[in-house]
Amino acid sequence: MKFSIIIHSRNENKDIRLSIESALAQTYPPQEILVVDDSTDNTPAIIKEYEPAGVKLLNGPRKGCCEAKNLGTRAASGEVVVILNADVVLPPDFLGKILKHYQAGADYVTVESGVFNQENFWARFIEMQHRYETGKIGDKTEWSEGFSFRRQAGLEVGLIPGDFSARFCRDWFFGKIMGEAGFKKVVDRSILVTHKAPDNFKEYWQVRKTRGRFSALTQYFLLQKPRGFLAIKFLIKNLLWILEFILVFPAAIKIYKISRLSPNSFKDFFLFFYAYFIQKVAFIAGEWSGLFIID
């Protein structure tokens, strides 16, 4: 079985080597490694350093990461496509492990995601919050780092949907429509794919705000919620979040549950409480900014 690994990058000169080198280090060799790049920095020059090893550079559509992933999938020749962000590190045996699922009839596979730079409390909070939320939702997730799918099945559902007036990430919706179309999903949490999480205030704020923006755009464009309905929903949710912090206790209980998962245990409580507060404020700012850019 042949695999195509597709990496999307945009101004990732600090991290792009991570994903490329982990793809090249696979013990079960992929058919090809395609990097779809939308950069304005020197990332393309770094990618070209790996051309002798078979890595191919594709000029991106400059319409966002989802369109880049679609472009890469259409250009791929492998039976199975693996999607990576530029800061993702695959374990060397990743392809060998997902191979067995496709041989058994899987159409798309999600795995466990983890953060590798946990020495920083911002990144560590993201990882521990992920573990906490994963314990609550179980295997309902439709997308993960190292997401893979049969190329033909992806093409049949039209790949990641939508050419909308606003750019936003919709990759999780791809897994959803594959499931609704009757394709077989396999979740294997024994396979861990790691990525780099924000490790400073500026990046953390921007990523959390972007997630809030995507939340608004997803609900409007994909879930077809009216703009007025979303405004009322966001207002009510914002008031509940404010109340959560005014009362202190509800937020403290949640942070208690998250911090006990940390290797530092409750020493991280106050740092995590701060990160949780910033996350909420950034998400609120993101949702309202998303709502205002809707045509």
Query: DSSP letters along 188-255, please?
Result: EEEEEEEEPPP-SHHHHHHHHHHHHHHHHHIIIIIS---HHHHHHHHHHHHHHHHHHHHH-HHHHHHH
What local confidence, expressed as pLDDT, does residue 137 receive? 64
Q: Are residues 190 and 209 in the same domain?
A: no
- Last residue within a domain, chosen from 195, 215, 236: 195
- In the chain, which stretches have pLDDT less than 50? none
What local confidence, expressed as pLDDT, does residue 247 receive? 93
In the structure encoding, which two tokens stand for residue 238, read together?
Answer: 């914002």
In the structure encoding, which two tokens stand for residue 114, read together?
Answer: 């983890």
- pTM of model > 0.85: yes
Q: Where are the beta strands (DSSP E) in the chain?
A: 3-9, 32-37, 55-59, 80-85, 88-89, 108-115, 148-150, 185-195
Domain count, the chain: 2
**How many other CB atoms are there within 10 angstroms of residue 238's CB atom?**
16
How far apart, in whole angstroms, are the C-alpha atoms of residue 102 and residue 223? 30
How far apart, in whole angstroms, are the C-alpha atoms of residue 240 and residue 77? 49
Q: Are residues 87 and 164 in the same domain?
A: yes
Q: Are residues 180 and 140 in the same domain?
A: yes
Q: Are residues 156 and 97 in the same domain?
A: yes
Q: Are residues 142 and 284 in the same domain?
A: no
